[in-house]
Structure 1
Amino acid sequence: MLPLNDLSLTPAIATVLFFVAVVAGYRYRRTWKAEGPRWQLWLFGVIAAVCLLILGFTPMAN
């Protein structure tokens, strides 16, 4: 099991997570404006939220 002290994000992984959050947020807004299906709103919203929470609460590696 991975100890929590060793848990950190590399710059490359953080960049990918940020990119995924931006794309999911864009898709959320696009679906919301088009009054699309609710399941798509939940899907894109949860993906964006999880990515941003990981970025916000996980330390960056040197």
Structure 2
Amino acid sequence: MPDVTLTPVTATALFVVACLAGMRYRNIWKAEGPRSRLWLYGVIAAVALLVLGFVPMRG
């Protein structure tokens, strides 16, 4: 299996994506919007945070 690492720029971009998706999730949840969008933004935020948590950074 090849070594999979994140560069600092990629990790920063993933963090920004997770924050923006989480913010959209919260706004839709407060407005009682469609459940499909809640799932979409929730999954995007969760995947981004899991990648940040479990994939090592190249340093």
The list of structure 1 runs, each at least 4 consecutive aligned residues, that deviate by more than 2 angstroms after superposition, is: none
Quote the Cα distance in structure 2 between the aligned partners of 1:52 and 1:36. 23
Deviation of 1:54 after TM superposition, in Å, equals 0.1
Give the corresponding residue for 2:57.
60
Question: Secondary structure of the residue that 1:60 maps to in structure 2?
Answer: coil
Deviation of 1:13 after TM superposition, in Å, equals 0.1
Taking structure 1 as the reference length, what is the TM-score of the superposition?
A: 0.92
Question: Which has the greater radius of gyration?
Answer: 1
Identity %: 66
Give the corresponding residue for 1:12.
9
Q: Give the root-mean-square deviation of aligned CA atoms.
A: 0.8
Give the corresponding residue for 2:18.
21
Q: Which runs of 5+ in 2 are unaligned?
A: none
The number of equivalent residue pairs is: 59
Question: Secondary structure of the residue that 1:8 maps to in structure 2?
Answer: coil
